[in-house]
Amino acid sequence: MAEKIFVTSNLTASIACPKCGEIEQKDVSDFYGSETLLELIYTCCCGHSFSVMLERRRASRRDVQLKGHLMKNYEKFPVLVENISNHGVRVKMLKTSALEDGQEIKIEFTLDDSEKSIIVKTARIKIFLSPTDIGCEFIHQDHHGSLENYLLN
């Protein structure tokens, strides 16, 4: 199985050899524009070859199944939060709606932590992956309390 490595904002990646532990910074700008999942074979200076997968997201995502709502003006749209990161969420709309790219909304969902914490965040609709699958970006990405703890664990 390929190790997932994150691409930095300056289009480099830190690749650590699982055999010798050597870490090398590599320029991955030639691969960055690709739309497909990138799995590369890397050969370390010790001669060991292994697979790495370039992750172009800014932060890792946590797969979840959390019930919630998107709220626009006074309308509530039921959703299922499918994944969450420091930067945003991906939701599945349980009913179709007239929401559009770029709209600012509020999202409310209940964490599956021991306290069943209720989170309310302002977000912007970033992308429609399908008529019911929406990617939303948090307006403020400074998280505190339950959400901060949830994302760290």
CATH class of 62-152: mainly beta
Q: Please, are residues 39 and 51 in contact by the beta-carbon 8 Å criterion?
A: yes
The CA distance from 25 to 19, in Å, is 17
Domain boundaries, the chain: 3-55, 62-152
pLDDT tens for each residue of the chain, 153 residues long: 677 777 776 778 888 899 998 989 888 888 766 656 678 889 999 999 999 888 765 556 788 999 999 999 889 999 999 999 888 999 999 887 788 889 999 999 999 999 999 999 999 999 888 888 999 999 987 777 888 888 777
Return contacts of 121-129, CB within 8 angstroms, 24+ apart. Answer: 121/147, 123/88, 123/89, 125/99, 125/100, 125/101, 126/88, 126/101, 127/101, 128/101, 129/90
